[in-house]
Amino acid sequence: MIALDPIGTVRSCFGEKFGIPRQPGLCPSAWGQLVFCDAYRSPEAVRSLEGFSHVWLIFGFHETADQGWKPTVRPPRLGGNQRVGVFASRSTFRPNGLGLSLVKLEGVDLTSPDAPVLLLGGLDLLDGTPVYDVKPYLPYAEALPSATAGFARDEISRLPVEVDDAAAADFQNLSERARGVLREVLSLDPRPATQMADAAREFGASLCGCNVRFTVSGGICRILRIEKAEGSGLNA
């Protein structure tokens, strides 16, 4: 039996579950930080890590762990209509509530009051996610061009994203990276599969400290408004 204690917590540009890309790397502009707990806040613990471009994060699905696990799930890649075994998916409803994410290591901050802090890119993790371990990515052992991907073999499709005049000024006031997050996330169409038929419905996603209101109609995602939402993810 292993007792797991978090080694740190992720601070992320994603303030809520809705809208988070379903896999790492799908939103290259996404950013975050891994802030270590006091017991592991040692520069010695990350010595030589800066030489690696990517790291694996073993984390906990902290907002769904108390809901237990399910032997079969409905992956979004199958439109939410077909069931597969939980171990053939990356569903959050797992026996131990653990996830694995490969993220870009953009740097190791040794000057922050919370140093060392890992600066992360391309992540798919909710603000406040507990992390249980960090491991460097090894391309020679883990890059497998001949690997197959079962029902998830097809590439992800993306929607064009347009910005309404009412949101244009607020959109331009965001940082270039935050604008990239909004475009990349919304192009993936984060709507639940069961609600995609309602073209008139307005949705909201907490991204980069903003509440981004949008609709999807005619194969186009349209940003309607961008409202500041302090305290929900790393700000733009």
Q: What pLDDT is attached to residue 6?
A: 97
Q: What is the pLDDT of residues 38-62, one digit of tens each?
A: 999 999 999 999 999 999 999 999 8
Please, what's the b/e burial string for 171-189 (b: 16 or more CB within 10 A of its CB; e: otherwise)? beebeeebbbbbbbbbbbb
Q: Has residue 77 got a pLDDT over 60? A: yes
* Mean pLDDT across the chain: 92
Please state whether 52 falls in left (phi above 0), alpha (psi between -120 and 50) or beta: beta
Q: Has residue 214 got a pLDDT over 80? A: yes
Q: Has residue 215 got a pLDDT over 70? A: yes
Instruction: State mean pLDDT over 133-148.
Output: 95
pTM of the model: 0.91
Q: What pLDDT is attached to residue 81?
A: 78
86 SS3 class: helix
Q: Fill in the amino acid letter for 159.
A: L
The CATH class for the domain spanning 8-142 reads mainly beta
Instruction: State mean pLDDT over 155-183.
Output: 95
The count of residues in the chain is 236
> Is it true that 8-142 and 161-228 share their CATH fold?
no
Q: What is the pLDDT of residues 9-40, one digit of tens each?
A: 999 999 999 999 989 999 999 999 999 999 99
Domain ranges of the chain: 8-142, 161-228
The CATH number, out of the four listed (3.30.2310.20, 3.40.50.11540, 3.40.630.10, 2.10.109.10), of the domain defined by the range 161-228: 3.30.2310.20
- Using a 10 angstrom Cβ sphere, with 0-12 exposed, 13-18 middle and 19 or more buried, the burial of residue 5 is exposed
